[in-house]
A and B are shown apart, each in its own frame.
Chain A
């Protein structure tokens, strides 16, 4: 065990953390509204869009993350190039686009599919009595969703959103395949000079443990804060 390398690479790998957080955060920010829209399509069974939404969700959820990354990264740039430059002649250098953008797109696509299922089941578990009571005090269907159902669904969705965020955070360890210099990429590169792979992976393991622990604490706090109406009776 090369302790010097272990410690040196640990500090080196930390420089990859901002990118890891950026990709996770951006994917989540894109995924929340779009995932909600997708859930809406599935709940309302909106014509034409419904079967597409179901197929999209099923495909993304069934395909290994690594395969999705390979699939998109090997085809998306060429595909965009054809559309943007051959059809619209915009002259954007697609192949020079920062790979982080592609990473965000891929993880957002994953987040959207999974969050749509999270939202769908959260909304469907809200007691129909809540809607009935709201109807009887004169709320309109939109008001019922905005004021009663969505706030409650969001709270019950928090643990699952937390799980998904953790999964995306872990998934970003695959972003090195897209030449994104995140934690894993940095450590791997360092290890490749001296063949100290075990040490490098111990470093990555520890960093992910710390990030994961922080994330779990944040979501526990969110759950408690947003779910304060679920407090058990103290009296």
Chain B
């Protein structure tokens, strides 16, 4: 469904992305891991042209984009197929939770107001926040705000949802709820790319785990192989730095919340 070829990006003299290739099939959940500064976020933002790449190709279904010569129209068309979940939520500060979800439906996608409201309420219900419809972002906790952020992206029914470290700005006790919502989307068969530091989540939910380091994809595999039999020395080192205990613990916490 989505193929990225030789994606490159430079900041000043520093080569952040040295040519990323990636293929994502419909229904795939891809977890993007790597140490900070490895270029994961830059890559994800580059896919949505929020910080456009320097060169490379993006092929999305039958739309082929050469990054260097992408027109505003190309970008608009591409973004219509994408939802984006931001690390720091970026909820519209002047709109309520419901209005945040409606905004894209009514204004961006020209869906009639009544119908949009229904879709938005449905989306909020799914993330368990229907009763917070009239709350402004400043009145929501981080975990709630991010769930609204996910509802906002998912309500537009995009072909793929890009999630940029969706839980890293959250207090630890709020992470589980948000991961639960993402898992739910995965179970529904949504195609997603998730940049994350949550190893247990990547292991449980992802169909494919990609390890990036220093601007390159170093290793990618299905989760069990990826975590249990890492091949490249850099991935081995990366995994060894994350203690097994914390992985187990995290996993437990987030399964537990699914029971509640």
Contacts and interface: CB of A to CB of B under 8 A. Distances in A.
Direct contact of A and B (CB under 8 A): yes
Interface of A: 127, 129-130, 132-139, 143, 147-148, 151-152, 155, 228-235
Nearest to B72: A141
Contact of B152 (A137, A152, A234): A137
In the A-B complex, list the 3 residue pairs whose CB atoms are closest, starting with the nearest. Answer: A138-B108, A137-B104, A129-B90
A163 to B, nearest CB: 22
Contacts of B90: 127, 129-130, 132-133
B138 A138 contact: no
Nearest to A127: B90
Contacts, number: 81
9 contacts: A132-B86, A133-B90, A136-B79, A137-B107, A138-B109, A147-B103, A229-B95, A229-B136, A230-B93
Contact of A229 (B50, B104, B137, B141): B137
Interface string B76-102: 100110111010101111111000000
Contacts of A231: 136, 138-139
Contact of A137 (B88, B93, B94, B103): B103
B136 A134 contact: no
Contacts of A230: 93, 136, 138
B138 A133 contact: no
Nearest to A229: B136
B153 interface: yes
A233 B107 contact: no
Contact of B141 (A138, A155, A233): A233
Given A138-B107, A230-B136, A130 B153 contact: no
Interface residues of B, number: 32
Contacts of B31: none
A133 B84 contact: yes
A127 B156 CA distance: 23
A229 B138 contact: yes
A234 B93 CA distance: 17
Contacts of B156: 137-138
A235 B86 CA distance: 24
B83 A232 contact: no
A200 B91 CA distance: 55
Contacts of A235: 139
Contacts of A135: 50, 79
Which of B103, B140, B149 has the most CB atoms of chain A within a 10 A radius of its CB? B103
Contact of A133 (B86, B109, B140): B86
A129 B93 CA distance: 11
Contacts of B93: 130, 152, 229-230
A49 B172 CA distance: 51
Which of B80, B90, B91 has the most CB atoms of chain A within a 10 A radius of its CB? B90
Contacts of B138: 229-233
B217 interface: no
B124 interface: no
A130 B91 CA distance: 7
Interface string B140-171: 11000000010011001000000000000000
